[in-house]
Amino acid sequence: MANDGVENNVEIIIIGNLSIDCISFVPGLPKLGESVRSYKFRADFGGKAGSQCIVAAKLGGCCGFVGNLGTGIWGDKYFKSLEALNVDATFLRINNKRPTGMTQTLISDDEDRVALHVNGANDLLHINTIEDAFAKFNDAKILLCPLDMPKKMMLDTLTSFKAISIVSSASGLHTESSDIIKLASIFICNADQAGRLIAKFDIFTLNDCKVAISKLFEMGAKIAIITMGVLGSVYAKNETPLEYVEVPIRRGVMCRTSYGAFDGFVGALAFFMVRYPDHEMHQHVGAANDVASYTIKCALNEGKFYRAKEIDLNKTIYPYQKYPH
Protein backbone atom coordinates (compact mmCIF):
# COMPACT_ATOMS: atom_id res chain seq x y z
CA MET A 1 0.00 0.00 0.00
CA ALA A 2 1.20 3.52 -0.76
CA ASN A 3 0.15 6.88 0.55
CA ASP A 4 -1.55 8.96 -2.11
CA GLY A 5 0.42 12.03 -3.08
CA VAL A 6 3.77 11.09 -1.54
CA GLU A 7 4.96 8.01 -3.41
CA ASN A 8 6.58 9.99 -6.24
CA ASN A 9 8.20 12.50 -3.87
CA VAL A 10 10.26 10.14 -1.72
CA GLU A 11 13.62 11.77 -0.91
CA ILE A 12 14.81 9.45 1.87
CA ILE A 13 14.64 5.67 1.58
CA ILE A 14 14.97 3.68 4.79
CA ILE A 15 15.66 -0.05 4.67
CA GLY A 16 15.88 -2.44 7.60
CA ASN A 17 14.29 -3.66 10.78
CA LEU A 18 11.02 -2.71 12.42
CA SER A 19 10.24 -3.88 15.92
CA ILE A 20 7.99 -3.19 18.86
CA ASP A 21 10.17 -1.93 21.70
CA CYS A 22 8.79 -3.15 25.02
CA ILE A 23 10.53 -1.08 27.70
CA SER A 24 10.46 -1.90 31.39
CA PHE A 25 11.99 0.57 33.85
CA VAL A 26 13.46 -1.06 36.97
CA PRO A 27 15.45 0.16 40.00
CA GLY A 28 18.32 -2.16 39.06
CA LEU A 29 18.98 -4.91 36.55
CA PRO A 30 18.25 -8.42 37.90
CA LYS A 31 21.06 -10.76 38.85
CA LEU A 32 21.16 -14.28 37.41
CA GLY A 33 18.01 -16.11 38.49
CA GLU A 34 16.50 -13.00 40.10
CA SER A 35 13.11 -11.43 39.32
CA VAL A 36 12.61 -7.69 39.71
CA ARG A 37 9.49 -5.56 39.69
CA SER A 38 9.09 -2.92 37.00
CA TYR A 39 7.63 0.38 38.11
CA LYS A 40 6.91 1.59 34.58
CA PHE A 41 6.29 -0.06 31.21
CA ARG A 42 5.86 1.33 27.73
CA ALA A 43 5.67 -0.08 24.21
CA ASP A 44 7.15 2.04 21.41
CA PHE A 45 7.50 1.65 17.67
CA GLY A 46 11.17 0.94 17.08
CA GLY A 47 13.84 -1.05 15.31
CA LYS A 48 16.94 0.80 14.09
CA ALA A 49 15.57 1.58 10.64
CA GLY A 50 12.06 2.22 11.93
CA SER A 51 13.26 4.71 14.54
CA GLN A 52 15.39 6.59 12.00
CA CYS A 53 12.42 6.76 9.65
CA ILE A 54 10.12 8.08 12.38
CA VAL A 55 12.49 10.94 13.23
CA ALA A 56 13.07 11.95 9.61
CA ALA A 57 9.33 11.83 8.90
CA LYS A 58 8.39 13.81 12.03
CA LEU A 59 10.79 16.53 10.96
CA GLY A 60 8.93 16.71 7.65
CA GLY A 61 11.03 14.44 5.44
CA CYS A 62 9.45 12.62 2.49
CA CYS A 63 10.30 9.05 3.42
CA GLY A 64 9.74 5.63 1.89
CA PHE A 65 10.25 2.48 3.97
CA VAL A 66 11.34 -0.95 2.75
CA GLY A 67 10.84 -3.78 5.22
CA ASN A 68 8.52 -6.36 6.73
CA LEU A 69 5.87 -6.52 9.43
CA GLY A 70 3.88 -9.49 10.67
CA THR A 71 0.12 -9.77 10.78
CA GLY A 72 -1.68 -9.10 14.04
CA ILE A 73 -2.38 -6.07 16.19
CA TRP A 74 1.23 -4.84 16.49
CA GLY A 75 1.98 -5.08 12.80
CA ASP A 76 -1.25 -3.27 12.01
CA LYS A 77 -0.55 -0.52 14.54
CA TYR A 78 3.00 0.02 13.30
CA PHE A 79 1.84 0.18 9.68
CA LYS A 80 -0.84 2.76 10.51
CA SER A 81 1.63 4.83 12.55
CA LEU A 82 3.95 5.14 9.55
CA GLU A 83 1.05 6.00 7.26
CA ALA A 84 0.01 8.72 9.71
CA LEU A 85 3.48 10.25 9.24
CA ASN A 86 2.99 10.16 5.44
CA VAL A 87 5.68 7.51 5.03
CA ASP A 88 5.33 5.77 1.69
CA ALA A 89 4.62 2.13 2.55
CA THR A 90 4.54 0.71 -0.99
CA PHE A 91 7.38 -1.68 -0.14
CA LEU A 92 6.46 -2.37 3.47
CA ARG A 93 5.27 -5.98 3.29
CA ILE A 94 2.76 -7.53 5.69
CA ASN A 95 3.03 -11.30 5.96
CA ASN A 96 1.59 -14.10 8.09
CA LYS A 97 4.68 -16.32 8.18
CA ARG A 98 6.37 -14.61 11.10
CA PRO A 99 5.37 -12.10 13.78
CA THR A 100 6.42 -8.47 13.85
CA GLY A 101 9.91 -8.06 15.30
CA MET A 102 10.06 -7.34 19.02
CA THR A 103 12.67 -6.12 21.49
CA GLN A 104 12.27 -6.44 25.26
CA THR A 105 14.48 -4.01 27.17
CA LEU A 106 15.11 -3.42 30.85
CA ILE A 107 16.47 0.02 31.79
CA SER A 108 17.72 0.64 35.33
CA ASP A 109 17.73 3.89 37.25
CA ASP A 110 21.48 4.07 36.53
CA GLU A 111 20.63 3.80 32.79
CA ASP A 112 22.19 0.35 32.50
CA ARG A 113 20.21 -1.86 30.17
CA VAL A 114 19.79 -5.36 28.83
CA ALA A 115 17.75 -6.33 25.78
CA LEU A 116 16.41 -9.41 24.02
CA HIS A 117 15.54 -9.09 20.33
CA VAL A 118 13.33 -11.32 18.20
CA ASN A 119 13.85 -10.53 14.51
CA GLY A 120 10.59 -12.08 13.34
CA ALA A 121 9.28 -10.83 9.99
CA ASN A 122 12.40 -8.74 9.44
CA ASP A 123 14.16 -11.91 8.26
CA LEU A 124 11.84 -12.07 5.23
CA LEU A 125 13.20 -8.95 3.52
CA HIS A 126 14.35 -9.79 -0.02
CA ILE A 127 16.77 -7.98 -2.32
CA ASN A 128 14.16 -7.99 -5.12
CA THR A 129 11.91 -5.79 -3.00
CA ILE A 130 14.78 -3.39 -2.40
CA GLU A 131 15.61 -3.17 -6.11
CA ASP A 132 11.92 -2.56 -6.93
CA ALA A 133 11.91 0.29 -4.41
CA PHE A 134 15.00 1.85 -5.95
CA ALA A 135 13.37 1.71 -9.38
CA LYS A 136 10.21 3.42 -8.14
CA PHE A 137 11.89 5.98 -5.86
CA ASN A 138 14.50 6.84 -8.47
CA ASP A 139 14.74 10.49 -7.39
CA ALA A 140 15.59 9.66 -3.77
CA LYS A 141 18.57 11.60 -2.49
CA ILE A 142 19.56 9.60 0.59
CA LEU A 143 19.47 5.96 1.67
CA LEU A 144 19.47 5.05 5.37
CA CYS A 145 20.66 1.50 5.94
CA PRO A 146 21.50 0.37 9.50
CA LEU A 147 24.09 -2.36 9.84
CA ASP A 148 21.55 -5.02 10.81
CA MET A 149 20.84 -6.84 7.53
CA PRO A 150 22.67 -9.91 6.15
CA LYS A 151 26.04 -8.92 4.71
CA LYS A 152 25.31 -9.92 1.09
CA MET A 153 22.04 -7.99 1.11
CA MET A 154 23.82 -4.94 2.50
CA LEU A 155 26.47 -5.15 -0.21
CA ASP A 156 23.91 -5.59 -2.99
CA THR A 157 21.82 -2.72 -1.61
CA LEU A 158 24.70 -0.26 -1.38
CA THR A 159 25.99 -1.24 -4.82
CA SER A 160 22.57 -0.63 -6.40
CA PHE A 161 21.88 2.77 -4.83
CA LYS A 162 23.46 5.64 -6.77
CA ALA A 163 22.95 8.66 -4.51
CA ILE A 164 24.10 9.30 -0.91
CA SER A 165 24.05 6.24 1.33
CA ILE A 166 24.34 6.43 5.11
CA VAL A 167 25.23 3.24 6.98
CA SER A 168 24.96 3.33 10.76
CA SER A 169 25.97 0.97 13.54
CA ALA A 170 25.19 1.09 17.24
CA SER A 171 26.05 -2.62 17.65
CA GLY A 172 27.77 -5.42 15.82
CA LEU A 173 30.57 -3.35 14.26
CA HIS A 174 33.79 -5.28 13.61
CA THR A 175 36.68 -5.27 11.20
CA GLU A 176 34.86 -7.72 8.91
CA SER A 177 32.42 -4.88 8.15
CA SER A 178 34.96 -3.14 5.91
CA ASP A 179 33.37 -4.37 2.66
CA ILE A 180 30.17 -2.61 3.69
CA ILE A 181 31.80 0.50 5.11
CA LYS A 182 33.77 1.24 1.94
CA LEU A 183 30.56 1.27 -0.14
CA ALA A 184 28.78 3.80 2.09
CA SER A 185 28.94 7.53 1.40
CA ILE A 186 28.82 8.19 5.15
CA PHE A 187 29.42 5.78 8.01
CA ILE A 188 28.13 6.60 11.52
CA CYS A 189 28.77 4.77 14.76
CA ASN A 190 28.47 5.60 18.44
CA ALA A 191 31.28 5.93 20.96
CA ASP A 192 30.87 2.38 22.23
CA GLN A 193 31.28 0.84 18.77
CA ALA A 194 34.15 3.17 17.92
CA GLY A 195 35.86 2.16 21.15
CA ARG A 196 35.66 -1.52 20.26
CA LEU A 197 37.56 -0.83 17.05
CA ILE A 198 40.53 0.48 19.01
CA ALA A 199 40.27 -2.02 21.89
CA LYS A 200 38.67 0.39 24.36
CA PHE A 201 35.40 -0.03 26.22
CA ASP A 202 34.34 3.46 25.19
CA ILE A 203 35.88 6.67 23.90
CA PHE A 204 35.66 10.03 25.62
CA THR A 205 38.29 12.30 24.07
CA LEU A 206 39.03 13.90 20.73
CA ASN A 207 42.25 11.90 20.49
CA ASP A 208 40.30 8.67 20.94
CA CYS A 209 38.00 9.79 18.12
CA LYS A 210 40.97 10.52 15.86
CA VAL A 211 42.33 7.02 16.39
CA ALA A 212 38.92 5.42 15.80
CA ILE A 213 38.24 7.49 12.68
CA SER A 214 41.68 6.60 11.32
CA LYS A 215 40.75 2.95 11.82
CA LEU A 216 37.48 3.51 9.93
CA PHE A 217 39.44 5.16 7.11
CA GLU A 218 41.70 2.09 6.98
CA MET A 219 38.48 0.06 6.59
CA GLY A 220 37.52 2.20 3.60
CA ALA A 221 35.20 4.86 5.06
CA LYS A 222 34.78 8.01 2.97
CA ILE A 223 33.18 10.13 5.71
CA ALA A 224 33.11 8.90 9.31
CA ILE A 225 30.97 10.31 12.13
CA ILE A 226 31.18 9.26 15.78
CA THR A 227 28.36 10.29 18.11
CA MET A 228 29.45 10.86 21.71
CA GLY A 229 26.28 11.57 23.67
CA VAL A 230 26.49 14.70 25.79
CA LEU A 231 29.88 15.52 24.22
CA GLY A 232 28.34 15.95 20.75
CA SER A 233 29.85 14.41 17.61
CA VAL A 234 33.16 14.24 15.76
CA TYR A 235 33.52 13.66 12.04
CA ALA A 236 36.13 13.71 9.29
CA LYS A 237 36.30 13.30 5.53
CA ASN A 238 38.89 10.91 4.12
CA GLU A 239 40.66 13.49 2.03
CA THR A 240 43.79 15.65 2.01
CA PRO A 241 44.36 17.73 4.06
CA LEU A 242 42.70 15.60 6.75
CA GLU A 243 40.78 17.59 9.37
CA TYR A 244 38.73 16.37 12.31
CA VAL A 245 35.66 18.44 13.10
CA GLU A 246 34.21 18.50 16.60
CA VAL A 247 30.56 19.62 16.90
CA PRO A 248 29.56 19.94 20.58
CA ILE A 249 26.10 19.89 22.07
CA ARG A 250 24.83 23.46 22.27
CA ARG A 251 24.57 25.09 25.67
CA GLY A 252 21.18 24.43 27.21
CA VAL A 253 20.59 21.26 25.19
CA MET A 254 21.47 18.31 27.40
CA CYS A 255 20.78 14.58 27.14
CA ARG A 256 19.13 13.02 30.18
CA THR A 257 19.32 9.49 28.79
CA SER A 258 20.85 7.83 25.77
CA TYR A 259 17.59 6.04 24.95
CA GLY A 260 16.97 6.52 21.23
CA ALA A 261 19.66 9.17 20.78
CA PHE A 262 21.66 7.41 18.07
CA ASP A 263 18.72 6.70 15.77
CA GLY A 264 17.42 10.21 16.36
CA PHE A 265 20.75 11.58 15.21
CA VAL A 266 20.87 9.45 12.05
CA GLY A 267 17.31 10.20 10.97
CA ALA A 268 17.74 13.90 11.62
CA LEU A 269 21.05 14.06 9.74
CA ALA A 270 19.39 12.62 6.63
CA PHE A 271 16.56 15.13 6.87
CA PHE A 272 18.83 18.18 7.21
CA MET A 273 21.10 17.03 4.40
CA VAL A 274 18.07 16.82 2.11
CA ARG A 275 16.37 20.00 3.32
CA TYR A 276 19.55 22.14 3.37
CA PRO A 277 21.85 20.62 0.71
CA ASP A 278 24.02 23.74 0.37
CA HIS A 279 24.90 24.05 4.06
CA GLU A 280 28.20 22.91 5.56
CA MET A 281 28.30 19.48 7.12
CA HIS A 282 28.95 20.82 10.61
CA GLN A 283 25.55 22.53 10.39
CA HIS A 284 23.86 19.23 9.50
CA VAL A 285 25.67 17.45 12.32
CA GLY A 286 24.91 20.21 14.83
CA ALA A 287 21.21 20.14 13.99
CA ALA A 288 21.19 16.35 14.27
CA ASN A 289 22.81 16.68 17.72
CA ASP A 290 20.04 19.07 18.69
CA VAL A 291 17.25 16.80 17.52
CA ALA A 292 18.74 13.72 19.17
CA SER A 293 19.03 15.59 22.47
CA TYR A 294 15.58 17.14 22.24
CA THR A 295 13.68 14.00 21.30
CA ILE A 296 15.16 11.88 24.08
CA LYS A 297 14.67 14.52 26.78
CA CYS A 298 10.98 13.59 26.68
CA ALA A 299 11.56 9.87 26.06
CA LEU A 300 11.08 8.68 29.63
CA ASN A 301 7.75 10.48 29.99
CA GLU A 302 6.16 10.76 26.55
CA GLY A 303 7.56 7.97 24.40
CA LYS A 304 10.50 7.73 22.06
CA PHE A 305 10.59 10.49 19.43
CA TYR A 306 7.32 11.94 20.72
CA ARG A 307 7.93 14.98 18.59
CA ALA A 308 10.81 16.45 16.67
CA LYS A 309 12.25 19.90 17.19
CA GLU A 310 11.85 22.29 14.27
CA ILE A 311 15.18 23.87 13.32
CA ASP A 312 15.86 26.42 10.61
CA LEU A 313 19.48 26.15 9.51
CA ASN A 314 19.19 29.53 7.79
CA LYS A 315 18.76 31.08 11.24
CA THR A 316 20.75 28.75 13.51
CA ILE A 317 24.56 28.69 13.65
CA TYR A 318 26.16 25.68 15.32
CA PRO A 319 29.56 25.90 17.03
CA TYR A 320 32.35 23.67 15.73
CA GLN A 321 36.11 23.31 15.90
CA LYS A 322 38.48 21.94 13.27
CA TYR A 323 41.64 20.05 14.22
CA PRO A 324 44.43 19.06 11.79
CA HIS A 325 45.54 15.47 11.54
Contacts 24+ apart (CB under 8 A), 21-24: 21/45, 21/46, 21/47, 21/103, 21/105, 21/304, 22/102, 22/103, 22/104, 22/105, 23/105, 23/107, 23/259, 24/104, 24/105, 24/106, 24/107
- pLDDT, residue 249, reads 85
Q: Tell me, what's the pLDDT at 69?
A: 97
- pLDDT at position 2 is 41
- Whether residue 150 is preceded by a cis peptide bond, meaning omega within 30 degrees of 0, is no
DSSP secondary structure string for all residues of 114-173 = EEEEE-GGGGG--HHHHHHHHHHTTT--EEEEES-S-HHHHHHHHHH--SEEEEEESS--
| Cβ-based neighbours of 239, under 8 Å, separated by 6 or more | none
Alpha carbon 282 to its chain centroid, in Å, reads: 18
Cα separation of 221 and 206, whole Å?
18
1-29+38-145 and 163-325 have identical folds: yes
Residue 256: the pLDDT is 44
What burial class does residue 254 get, using C-beta atoms within 10 Å of its C-beta: 0-12 exposed, 13-18 middle, 19+ buried? exposed
- Chunked mean pLDDT (size 10), the chain, 325 residues: 54 97 93 93 91 92 97 94 95 94 92 90 96 96 94 95 93 78 95 80 82 92 92 94 92 55 92 96 94 65 53 91 91
CATH number of 163-325, picked from 3.40.50.150, 1.10.1060.10, 3.40.1190.20, 3.40.1160.10? 3.40.1190.20
Residue by residue, DSSP assigns 247-281 as EPPPTT---S--TTHHHHHHHHHHHHHHH-TTS-H
Q: How do the domains of the chain map onto residue ranges?
A: 1-29+38-145, 163-325
pTM to 2 decimal places: 0.91
Q: Are 10 and 99 in contact (CB under 8 A)?
A: no
Question: Which pLDDT belongs to residue 199?
Answer: 73
CATH superfamily of 1-29+38-145: Ribokinase (3.40.1190.20)
